[in-house]
Amino acid sequence: MILTTTNSIEGFKIADYLGIVTGVAINDETLSVGFSQSKYYKKIQDSVDKVKERAFQALTNNAKALGANAIVGIKIEIELTTTNYPMVSVTGTAVKILV
């Protein structure tokens, strides 16, 4: 599966646009604030990295379900909920490219 933030893939021709796909993931682990702000920020950073991977996996699975072999125009949104749970939303267009 080719993933890109661009609207085309150099060297490949898009044969069919299959639809918009999304992948959303949220951290379900509690991130408590302790005495060390740097440790807290490190926990948030690590959490965002893990959640981002889960969101991309969901995005890829949704595109495969449509028969896609690539996703173009990917946009990523990362936010903290009011309770400091990192949430990642990834959106793109599932396409079939000629290989």
pLDDT tens-digit map of 65-87: 999 999 999 999 999 887 778 89
The SS3 of residue 28 is coil
Nearest one of 94, 91, 90, 6 to 48, comparing CA atoms: 90
pLDDT at position 40 is 73
Architecture of the domain defined by 2-98: 2-Layer Sandwich (3.30)
pTM above 0.75, yes or no: yes
Structure confidence at residue 30 (pLDDT): 61
Residue showing tokens 């690539």? 70
At 59 the three-state DSSP class reads helix
